[in-house]
């Protein structure tokens, strides 16, 4: 038996639903951090799992669905992020973009601005690096990161270091070195 109906890993049959149950929270967690809106994150997660479902039986993806899923989710999130950034530019030029106001207005403006900068940095990074940082922020263990990044567990530390260094460099550049990082 092969493919989505039956994946033999640990000798137990793993169904597509089991893959979904195992990874949905993480995929959603990654997307919500990237796009910031619940409905959009849910839509994107739905699309990513649909695409996984459409992979033909016997395709290599079924050997490690996690690796495929998180890469697809990161790419989808970054694409959406870039599209949103373009839209915001137009809106800013037209003067129609208003920050959402919950909490104190100043706080929320600052927080929104900071979120926007962090997302801009993530969106400019290599998707694989953005992915590992976001998954770590979501509480993934080295083992989970290794599976999702398709590297050996011993390589995760190096990947995290590089991704953090890259994030730091770009963030400092974007914020004009105003803060010590």
Partner 1 sequence: MNCLSEDVLRRYADRELSSLEVDEHLSSCERCRERLGELRNRTERVQELLGVLAPAGGDPDPARAYARLASAIASAEPEPPRRVSFLRRTPVWSAAAACALILVFTLSPARSWGQRFLSMLRVQKVAVVPVDLQTVTAQLRGSGHEKLLAQFISDNVVVTMKPGAPAIASSPQNASAMVGFPVTTLSALGTPQRISVTGEGAFQMTLDRSRIQALFDAAGRSDLSVPLSVDGSLVAVHIPKSVHMQYGNCSKTNHAPSANCVNFIQVPSPTVSVPPSLNIAALAEAGLQVAGMDAAQAQAFSQSVDWSSTLVIPVPENAGSYETVPVDGVNGTLIASLPRPHSPGGYALIWVKNGIIYSLAGGGSADTALNVAESLH
Q: Check if the beta carbon of residue 99 is closer than 8 Å to that of residue 109.
A: yes
Residue 177 half-sphere exposure, CB side, CA atoms within 13 Å? 0
Site string for partner 1, 136-155 (x = CB under 8 A): xx----x-----------x-
SS percent in the chain: helix, strand, coil, step 5: 75, 0, 25
User: Is residue 105 a contact residue for partner 1 (CB under 8 A)?
Assistant: no
Q: Which of residues 29-48 bind partner 1 (CB under 8 A)?
A: 29, 32-34, 36, 38, 41-42, 45-46
Q: Which of 65, 74, 140, 167 binds partner 1 (CB under 8 A)?
A: 167
Give yes or no for residue 168 binding partner 1 (CB under 8 A). Answer: yes
* Cβ closest to partner 1, residue 63 vs residue 137: 137
Cα 164 from chain centroid (whole Å): 15
Q: From the CB of 94, what's the least distance to partner 1, in Å?
A: 27
Q: Indicate the angle between helix axes 142-149 and 127-137, nearest 10 degrees.
A: 150
Under rule CB under 8 A, residue 79 binds partner 1:
no
Distance CA 24, CA 19 (A): 8
Candidate residues 101, 105, 126, 157; the one interacting with partner 1 per rule CB under 8 A:
157
Closest by CA position to 130, among listed 174, 170, 163 = 163
CA 132 to chain centre: 8
Question: Should residue 67 be labelled a site residue for partner 1 when binding is judged by CB under 8 A?
Answer: no
Q: Which residues have CB under 8 Å from 16's CB, separation 6+?
A: 4, 5, 52, 53
User: In the numeric block, which tokens belong to residue 69?
Assistant: 């899923």
Asked if 128 interacts with partner 1 (CB under 8 A), we say: no
Least distance (Å) from partner 1 to the CB of residue 104?
15
What is the contact surface with partner 1 in residues (CB under 8 A)? 1-6, 15-17, 20-21, 24-25, 28-29, 32-34, 36, 38, 41-42, 45-46, 49-50, 53, 56-58, 111, 114-115, 118-119, 133-134, 136-137, 142, 154, 156-158, 160-161, 164-165, 167-168, 171, 181
């Amino acid at each position: 038996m092969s493919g989505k109906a039956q994946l033999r890993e640990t000798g137990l049959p793993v169904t597509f639903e089991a893959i979904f149950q195992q990874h949905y929270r993480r995929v959603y967690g990654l997307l919500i951090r990237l796009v910031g809106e619940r409905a959009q994150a849910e839509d994107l997660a739905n699309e990513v799992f649909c695409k996984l479902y459409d992979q033909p039986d016997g395709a290599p993806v079924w050997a490690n669905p996690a690796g495929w899923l998180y890469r697809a989710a990161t790419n989808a999130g970054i694409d959406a992020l870039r599209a949103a950034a373009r839209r915001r530019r137009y809106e800013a030029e037209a003067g129609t973009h208003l920050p959402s106001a919950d909490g104190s207005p100043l706080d929320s403006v600052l927080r929104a601005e900071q979120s926007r900068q962090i997302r801009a940095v993530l969106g400019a990074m290599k998707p694989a690096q953005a992915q590992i940082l976001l998954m770590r922020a979501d509480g993934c263990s080295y083992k989970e990161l290794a599976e999702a990044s398709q590297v050996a567990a011993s390589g995760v530390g190096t990947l995290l270091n590089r991704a953090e260094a890259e994030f730091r460099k770009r963030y400092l550049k974007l914020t004009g070195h105003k803060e010590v990082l």
